[in-house]
Structures are given as C-alpha cells and as structure tokens.
Structure 1
C-alpha cells in the first residue's frame, strides 16, 4: 500500500513574490534560491532527496482553484522567542502570546502580505 511520507511543499499566491521572499530571507534566514524564488528545507529523517519547499506563486495563478486564498503556514523554529522578536522588528504583526503544550511552543504573526504564520518550537 502506498503512503504519504512527508510534505513536498507549501505553495501560495503572492502580490510581490520577490519582496516577500526577501522579507523572509532577511527576517527568518530563508536561503532563497533565485532559480525559482523559494527555499528547500532538507529533512534528515525523510527519504533521500526529500524536502519541504517554500515558494510563493504569482498572485494571478490559477494553480489553487477552486480554493480561495485561505491558509496558515507553520514553520519549525529553533528559538521561537528570538524569531518572534525578529518578526516584530521587521514589521510583522504578532498575534497573541506564545502558547505551550505537549508538542512544544507555538507563536503566531501576520507577514507583510497579511498571511497568518504559525511558528513551532518542538519540545
């Protein structure tokens, strides 16, 4: 039986792909690949060559139809409090206070294009 073994990517529409990619690079250290405007996060516990991709799409793409632009991204971070400070310093809007549960610590913000982002520091 076939099964899913990981997340292959996160793709979404963007008003200004280059500006948003630059903001994430400057704010959270994304290593943006100029050949496609996104970044790949290699997973050491995933199958060989598997990765999770971050990549904004042009705003007028029809790739996501019939879905609307409703989503929330989750990024695993090494230091949630430092990341949230960096986000706020770079003009992101923090949402509420970080919350901790059995999975770890979670925090939320809105990026410059109004996308809700969840950060997760694994316990």
Structure 2
C-alpha cells in the first residue's frame, strides 16, 4: 500500500519522527448514489511531528460532506462517522506500519 508523506525518507528518519510524535494515519470518506453508499479508507498518510492530522484529512472530510449524505439510510450515518474519525485526526495505524516496515527491513538484511 502506498504511504503518502515519507517520500525520500529513510527508515531511520521515519523512526526518529515517530519518536518525536509523528504517526501514520488512515482517513475515511463516504460517497453516496441514491440508495448505494460506499465507505472507504484513504491510503496511509504520514503525519510528521508538528503537522496537523486534521488538516491532512480535510480533502476526505470535504468529499464526505459533499457526496456522502445522499444515500438513504446509510449515507448520513456513514458520513457522520467519517467526519468524527477525520476531525479526530484519523485512525492511527502507526504500530501496524512500523511492524511491517521493521519486518521488511530485517528480512532484507
């Protein structure tokens, strides 16, 4: 899976950012078409220490606000859930990503 925000960084640099407070997050968005509602997760985003996780997720929040409400009955339900998750900074998946990265690094050695 693609990780946005780590381009050009080494594993050591990522680990250092994590120790300072950086994290990997997933955002959620919702799109509705009449009676069909789709709830999806974004690609993984790396939020460095000092960056706003809420700000990085605003495009997914905007998609949900504009396109999520229209499906009955799940549109409003999924849209509200997406807004709560994104405005809370997204879903933290740092442990899972770091386990995967460190496991790949050890396997390559």
**Greater RCO, 1 or 2 (C-alpha within 8 Å, sep 6+):** 2
Q: Which has more helix, going by share of residues?
A: 2
Q: For this structure pair, what is the TM-score category when the shorter chain's length is used for normalisation?
A: under 0.3
Taking structure 1 as the reference length, what is the TM-score of the superposition? Answer: 0.26
Taking structure 2 as the reference length, what is the TM-score of the superposition? Answer: 0.28
Larger Rg: 2
